[in-house]
Structure formats: structure tokens, C-alpha cells
Structure 1
Amino acid sequence: MHPPGADTVLVRHGDVNTKSNTVKRYMEGLLVENLEALLTDRSIPGEVERRWNRPLIHTSEDAIEDATDTVTDVFGVVSASPALTVSTEKARIIEALEETARACYNGGTFAVDARRADKTLPYDSEDIAREGGTAIWEAVADDFEPEVDLDDPDLTFGVEVREDLTFIYLETVPGPGGLPLGSQEPVIALVSGGIDSPVAAYEMMRRGSPVVPAYVDLGDYGGIDHEARAMETVRILSTYAPNFDMHVYRIPGGETVDLLVNEMEQGRMLSLRRFFYRAAETLADRVNANGIVTGEAAGQKSSQTVRNLGVTSRATRLPIHRPLLTWDKADIVAKAREIGTFSDSTIDAGCNRVTPGRVETNARLEPLLAAEPDDLLERAATAAADATLVAP
């Protein structure tokens, strides 16, 4: 819902405000670039104005809702409000509140949440809240009995008075929060096309890290459907970052998977994880990435017990980022639905045939090294060197 004549999206960021002025200025610049890129990619008309603490999207009333929806997909945005801009003259603010009430307030409780940034103005936020509330009441009193509720109103009239403009809005739409994409170093995202890995990649993007997607081709144990679902989840992730390269590195792993299936029973899945990690490390050196992100969660699978994670992690010198480490599966599924990757992640691709009949939950490194092929990590490095780029 927006006031009649709404022409601006008021954008708010959060963690950016905790930075020094120099870093904050840099991150706000990235945020503006990312806002512009997403608006352009989705063909939403809007001009981004960079302001200290509050980037603005100037658009038309016809496009205001689409612009708000787009803005709240941008990493680093905490929330956004479709707003009407008026002058800082108190009489004009009160008049705009009356007009908004007549158009949008049709029952229930209400409140006025007023804030004033410019302390030199001849009124304060309490004046706006009190006089604005009276004006709203009188504007609708002939149609129904209005009621004020300052604690939990059905409708809140937001008023934000800045140095030269006032913004009037009726809703605050949450965004992903985090940091602007590009404010942190890139990481390799191991994507399998399952439910977890795209969500983990999204969470790293939300904290500012561009991801370099890497898919390990499992050969006969994966197949066309396995690869297709991985590519589709990356394609969906790319819609949140149209100004970043999201081509996928396809790493050949079929021969190694076949070798592990034929030669290993206990610990097979752990050795396969070690293969993934070393391949990702080699690829990271190639593309100047600074870590690896996976969708692993403590205890979710046999290969993801705390002990097993410790054993498999030693295959790489790079940090392995596991943003879902403490998440429950239900929360991961909910996030996958929210960002749009869930449907494709649930396609049955048959890759569970790699899993042995007896799983290892309490591995130790030395016995695992003795059981796995001596050249496993060399195979991984070679596979990563042979990786090819594929468009998602």
C-alpha cells in the first residue's frame, strides 16, 4: 500500500551504518550500483539518488510497487518504503496526511510515526505526530469511528522529515539485510543443485561475497537431470546479481566417483567431500577466490557430523564457510522457497546411488587416508584445472 501520488522508494540499510565514514561511503556506492543494476535488469523505471544513509529511487506511481519489490531483493537493503515526497513545510505535511488518510484508511486502528532529522525546523516530531493524528482523525471521522493505537496499530502513517524533503509512507517492506554484494572477497560456491547449497551461496552473497559457482560432474552417478537442477538454481541466484558473472565451472569428477564406488565402502562419502574441497581450492587459486562455501549443517547427514566435518576440512588450506551450520532443515527449506530455488532443488536426479550401504559417522583422518586412493587429491587438482565454464 502506498500514499496517492507516491513517487519515491525510501531505501534503508543496516550494517553499512556500523562502518567508518570511508568504508560506509564505499559500501553505499556499491549499494547504489547494485540497485541500478537490478532495476535495469528487471526493466523497472527508476532513478537512483545516492544520499547519506538513505538512497532514494525516484519513479512513477505506476511503477512504485514493482520498484519496491525490486529494491528489497538487493543485498544490503534492510527495508524500503514506497513514499510520497512533499516539502518540509508543516502545513503541507499535514495536508498530505489528510489526503493519504482519505485514500487509504478505511477502518481499524492507526498511529503516526514521525521522525525529524533537521533540528532547525520550527517544529519537532511530536508536533507532526499530534497534529497529523488529529488531521487523519478528522479526515475519516464522517465515514467511520477511527481509533488510535500507538502500540500495535492496524495502519501506521510514517513521516520522515529530512533536510529538504519529507517522505510519507504506509508500509515498510523488509529486505535481505546484510552487506552490498561486492563488499567482500569472492568465494567458490560448491553447488550440487540440492536444497542446501543454493541457500548457502545466497547467504554468502547476502554478506557481500560474490560467488564463483562450481559444479562437480558425477558422471554416470549424476547425469543430465543432476546437472540441470544445479544450473537452474545458479540461474535463479544470478537474478539477484545481474551485474556479477555467475557462469558455472563444471569440474569433471565421474572417473573419480566411479573409482571411489568400486574401491571404497566405509568413508566413501568423506573422501568424495575431500575431492570436492581440493578441487575447489585449486579453482580458487585460478580465479582468485578466498574461500569455499558449502551447504553443510552440523549433523544433518552422516558426512556432516562434527567429527567428519573436521576430518574432511583438512583437505584444503582455505577456509570453508558454512553459513547453514546451525540451521534446522525446515528453516533451510523455507529460505529456499523464499528465494525461489526450492522447486528445482527437489528434482530426483539419482545421485544418492553414490552413498554406501554403511555410512561413516565418526571418522579419523589416518584410517581414511589409508583407505582412499593415494592420488585422490592430485585427481582433484587435475579435475579443477580441466574445469570448463558453462552458462547457467
Structure 2
Amino acid sequence: MHPPGADTVLIRHGDLNTKSNTVKRYMEGLLVENLEALLAERSIPGEVERRWNRPLVHTDPEAVEAATAAAADTFGVVSASPALTVSTEKARILEALEETAREHYDGGTFAVDARRSDKSLPYDSEDLAREAGTAIWETVEDEFEPEVDLDDPDLTFGVEVREDIAFVYLEQVDGPGGLPLGSQEPVVALVSGGIDSPVAAYEMMKRGSPVVPAYVDLGDYGGIDHEARAMETVRLLSEYAPTFDMQVYRIPGGETVDLLVDEMEQGRMLSLRRFFYRAAESLAERVDANGIVTGEAAGQKSSQTIRNLGVTSRATRLPIHRPLLSRDKQYIVAQAREIGTYTDSTMNAGCNRVTPDQVETNARLKPLLEAEPDDLLERAEEAATQAELVEP
């Protein structure tokens, strides 16, 4: 919902404001570049204006909602509002609010949220909010009895007055927040056909890290459906990052999985994870990435107890980032739905068939090393050298 004639998207960011001016300027530049790429990828007309604290998208009234949605998908953006731009003259602002009220206010409670950044203007935020409330009231009072609710209104009229321009808006569409993509170093993202790993990759992207997706081919324990699910989630993630190449590295792992199933019972899943981590480390060296991201959450599976995570993590010298570590499954599922990567969780994933009847929840490193194949980590390094790029 937006004021009639809205042709601008007002963009707000959060964590960027905690940075030094030099870093903030750099990150705002990245945010603008990423937003321009999203607009172009979606064929949305719009010109991004880089303003200190408030980047703007100038677009056509017919495209303002689509441009707002693109802004709200841009990492680093806290919220975006489709807005009508007017002069800073109070009379013109009030006139725009009256027009907006006639178009959209048809009952219920309302409030005015007015902010003024230019202290030289002949009115302050309280004056503007008070007069705006009166103007809106008088505009609709012949149609129905308006009601003010400053705590939880049904409709909020927003006004933001900058040095040379004012914005009138009705909604703030939530963005992902975080930092602009590309402001941090890349990481290798271990992706599977499940729900958790793409959400974890998205969370790292939200903190500014481009991801290099890696899928371990489990051979007979994976299959076409398992791989297709992984590729589809990466394709969906790539829609948030049109300026970055998100081809998937497919790492062959079928022979090693067969070996683990044949030779190991207790601790098999832990050794398989160790294989994943070492392969990801080797791939990271190849693509100049600086860490590994997984969808693991503490205690969610037997292999993800805190002790087991500690044991498996020793397979790599790189940091393993686990953004979902403390998240409940319900949160992860909801996030997957929100970003569009949720798939049918009841579909069999091949790795489930690798799980032994007797699982290990309290592993020790020495017994695990004695039980697993001596060349497991060498196999992982070799598999990484054989990784092939696959278009998602």
C-alpha cells in the first residue's frame, strides 16, 4: 500500500550505521550495486540514488511495489517504503497526506510518524505530526469517525523530511537486514537436498559473505532427486545474488560412502561429516574461500550433539560457521518458507540411508580415528580436486 503517485522507494539500513564513515561509504556503495543488479535481473525500471543513510530508488508509479520488493530482498536493507516525494514545505506535505488519506483511510485507528532531519526548517517533528493528524482527521471526518491510536494503529502515515525533500509513505516492508553481500569474505557452503543448509547459506549471505556452494554426491545413497533438490535451493539462493557466480561444485563421494557403510557401524555418520569438512577445506583453498558454512543445529541430530560437533570439527583447520546452531527446527522451516527454499521435508534424502541402526552421540576422537578408514581425509582431499562445476 502506498500514497497515490508514489514513484520512489525509501531504503533504510541498520548495521551500516555502526561503521566508520569510510567503511559505511564503502558498504553503501556495495548495497547500491547489489540493488541495481536485482532491479536489472528482475527487469524492474529504476534508478538508484546513493544518499547518505537513505538510498533511494526512483521508478515509475506502476513499478514502485516491485521495486520495493527488490529492495526488501537486498542484503543490508532493514526496510523499504514505497513513497511519494514532495517538497519540504509543510503545506505541501499536509496536502500529500490529505490525498493519501482520501485514497486509503476508510476506517479504524490511525497515527502519524513524522521525522525531520533538517533542524533549520521552520517546524519540528512534533509540530508536523500534530498538524498532519489534524489534516487527516478533517479529511475523513465527514465519511466516518476517525480515531487516533499512537500505540497500535491500524494505519500509520509516515513522513520523513530530509534536507531538500520529504517522503510520505504508509508501510515499511521488512528487509533481511545484515550487511551488503560482498562486504565479507566468501565461504564454502555445504548444501544438501534438505531444509537446513540453504537457510544457513542465506544467513551467511545476509552477513555479507558470498557463498561457494558445494554438493557431495553420495552415489547410490543420494541419487538424481537428492541432487536436484540441492541444485534447486542453490538456484533460488542465486536470485538474491545476481552479481555473484553461484555455480555448484559437485564433489564425488559415492565410493567413500560405500566404504564407510561396509567398514563402519558406530561413528559412521561422524566420519562422513569429517569427509565433508576436509573436502570443503580443500575446495576452499582452491577457490580462495575463508571458511565453511553448514546447516547444523546443536542437538538436532545424533551427529550434531555438542561433543560430536567438537570431534568432527577437528577434520579441518578452517572455521566452520553454523548460523543455525541455536535455532529450533520450527524457526528454520519458517525461514526456509520465507526465502523460498522450503521443499517437502518428507521426501527421502539419500544420507538418511547411511545412518546406522546404532548411532553415536558421545564420540571420542581417538576411538573414531581407529575405526574409520586410515585414508579418509586423503580421500576427501582427492575428491575435492575432482569437483566439477554444475549449473544450478
Tell whether the structures are fold-level matches, with TM greater than 0.5: yes
The aligned residue for residue 101 of structure 2 is: 101
Other structure's SS at 2:25 match: helix
Please give the per-residue CA displacement for 1:340-374, whole angstroms capped at 9, x wherever unaligned. 11126653344311111110000000000000000
Aligned to 1:275: 275
Runs ≥4 residues deviating over 4 A: none
CA contact (8 A) 1:13 1:77 kept: yes
C-alpha RMSD of matched pairs (Å): 0.8
Tell whether the 8 Å contact from 2:193 to 2:349 is kept in structure 1 after alignment.
no
Greater shift in the superposed pair: 24-33 or 127-136? 127-136
- Could you say which residue in structure 2 is the equivalent of 1:368? 368
Range moving further from structure 2, 304-313 or 149-158: 149-158
**What TM-score does the superposition give when structure 2 sets the normalisation length?**
0.99
Distance in structure 2 (CA, Å) of the matches to 1:209 and 1:136: 45
> Percent same amino acid at aligned positions?
84
| CA displacement 1:248-274 (0-9 Å, x = unmatched) | 000000000000000000000000000
The 3-state SS of whatever aligns with 2:2 is coil
Query: Take 1:341 and 1:150, find their aligned partners in 2: how far apart are those partners?
Result: 37
The 8 Å contact of residues 197 and 295 in structure 2, kept in 1 or not, is answered as yes
Equivalence map 1:58-77=2 (5 Å): 58-77=58-77
**C-alpha distance 161-75 of structure 1, shift in aligned 2 (>3 A):** same
Q: Give the structure 1 partner of residue 158 of structure 2.
A: 158
Matched, 1:230 2:235: no
8 A Cα contact 1:194 1:346, kept in partner: no
Residue type of the partner of 2:178? G
**Does the 8 Å CA contact 2:221/2:351 hold for their aligned counterparts?**
yes
Rounded to whole Å, the distance in 2 between the matches of 1:249 and 1:44 is 31
Match of 1:337 in 2: 337
Offset at residue 152 of structure 1 (A): 1.3
Structure 1 CA distance for aligned equivalents of residues 167 and 85 of structure 2? 5
1:253 partnered with 2:253: yes
Q: Do the aligned partners of 2:218 and 2:350 also contact (CA within 8 Å) in 1?
A: no
Alignment match, 2:41: 41
1:135-162 alpha-carbon deviations (Å, 9 max, x no partner): 1111111100111111111111100000
- Contact 2:194–2:349 (CA under 8 A) maintained in structure 1: no
Q: Which amino acid counterpart does residue 81 of structure 2 have in structure 1? A: S
The match for 2:13 is 13
Offset from partner CA, 1:141-198 (integer Å, 9 cap, x none): 1100111111111111100000010000001111111000000000000001211000
1:210 maps to 2:210: yes
Cα separation, 2, equivalents of 1:288 and 1:345: 33
Structure-2 change in CA distance of 1:345 and 1:206 (3 Å): farther
Q: Equivalent residue for 1:390?
A: 390
Match in the other structure for 2:288:
288
Report the secondary structure of 2:315's partner residue: coil
Contact kept? 1:275, 1:376, Cα under 8 Å? yes
**Aligned partners of 2:194 and 2:343 also within 8 Å:** no
> Are the aligned partners of 1:34 and 1:181 in contact in 2 as well (CA < 8 Å)?
yes
Amino acid at match of 1:25: R
Matched residue type, 1:362: N
Q: Runs of 5+ in structure 2 lacking a partner?
A: none
Matches within 5 A, 1:81-160: 81-160=81-160
CA contact (8 A) 1:183 1:209 kept: yes
How far apart, CA to CA, are the structure 2 residues paired with 1:41 and 1:365?
48
Q: Which amino acid aligns with 1:76?
A: G
SS across alignment from 2:151: coil
TM-score (normalised: structure 1): 0.99
Mapped partners of 1:142, 1:173: distance in 2? 31
- CA displacement, residues 102-135 of structure 1 (integer Å, 9 cap, x when unaligned): 1111011111111101000111111111111111
Show the 5 A alignment for 1:340-355: 340-343=340-343, 347-355=347-355
Instruction: Identify which range, 63-72 or 365-374, moves more after superposition.
Output: 63-72
Partner residue in 1 for 2:307:
307
SS, match of residue 342 in structure 1: coil
Cα distance per residue 1:277-331 (max 9 Å; x no partner): 0000000000000000000000000000000000000000000000000000111
Q: Give the Cα–Cα distance (whole angstroms) in 2 for the partners of residues 225 and 326 of structure 1.
A: 29
Indicate conservation of the 8 Å contact 1:232/1:344, yes or no: no
Question: Whole-Å Cα distance in 2 between the matches of residues 150 and 297 of structure 1?
Answer: 40
- Equivalent position amino acid for 1:251 in 2: I
Aligned length: 392
Q: Which amino acid aligns with 2:174?
A: P
* Structure 1: 5+ residue stretches without partners: none
Instruction: Please name the residue that 1:178 is paired with.
Output: 178
Secondary structure of 2:63's aligned partner: helix
What amino acid maps onto 1:353 in structure 2? R
